[in-house]
Amino acid sequence: MLAAVEYGEDGDTFACERRLHQLGYRRVAGTDEAGRGPLAGPVVAACVVLPDGIDTTVFRDSKILSAKKRERLAAHLWESGAAIGLGIVAPEEIDRINILRASLLAMRLALDDLASHWPRPDYLLIDGIFTIDDAIPQSCLKKGESKSASIAAASIIAKTSRDGIMLELGHQYPQYNFDKHKGYPTKDHYEMLRRWGPCPAHRRSFRGVSDVS
């Protein structure tokens, strides 16, 4: 585990990656997930290795960015030569293993997906407090999206990818307005649940869905 000062707390969000490079780790990846809180849809994780020369200062926690800004940065990452992997865990699997395990599974799947197209990372920075089930050296960073540009980039890819899935589910199940609330527990979503009941995209183990199942 790296010292706290190396986690970007001085405002340098690439300090952790830079220190790991100095220690001999050349392919440092960040991973984060999107969709732990919603009542519907998958949990989606991304794993990202930023390319040399990219401006790391533009990557921030996806939750503080506008949707348009997230989309622009996601497109920039896909076009920049960043190594990117995605992991998606469906609602029925979330119900089976619980959302925490599903989130960690999505991160591991994202790492595996990246490694199927790019050289495997040799170090992993994870947003949160739990490691994933993999032998790769890894460190957990609380509020990692604000401390590591690689994790922030992963948060942007995960969020925009999940939003795209929810837009597709919105077309498939238009009565729930998934395209608007993305499955989160909004007043409108609860109203649609009470009116129509849950659909296959809903997480039936979640309170608010189980109440009307």
Query: Is 204 part of any domain?
Result: no
Domain span holding position 21: 4-196
CATH, residue 75: 3.30.420.10
pLDDT in tens, 91-106: 999 999 999 999 999 9
Predicted confidence band at 8 (pLDDT cuts at 50, 70, 90)?
A: low
Query: Is 142 part of any domain?
Result: yes
Query: Is 84 part of any domain?
Result: yes
pLDDT at 205 over 70: yes
Per-residue 3-state assignment (H helix, E strand, C coil) for the chain: CCCHHHCCCCCCCCHHHHHHHHCCCCCEEEEEEECCCCCECCEEEEEEECCCCCCHHHCCCHHHCCHHHHHHHHHHHHHHCCEEEEEEECHHHHHHHCHHHHHHHHHHHHHHHHHCCCCCCCEEEEECCCCCCCCCCEEEECCHHHCCHHHHHHHHHHHHHHHHHHHHHHHHCHHHCHHHHCCCCCHHHHHHHHHHCCCCCECCCCCCCCCCC
Query: Is 91 part of any domain?
Result: yes
pLDDT at 40 over 60: yes
Mean pLDDT of the chain: 94
Query: Is 209 part of any domain?
Result: no
Query: Is 177 part of any domain?
Result: yes
Query: Is 116 part of any domain?
Result: yes
pLDDT in tens, 53-96: 999 999 988 888 999 999 999 999 999 999 999 999 999 999 99
Query: Is 213 part of any domain?
Result: no
pLDDT in tens, 191-204: 999 999 999 999 99
| Domain tally, the chain | 1
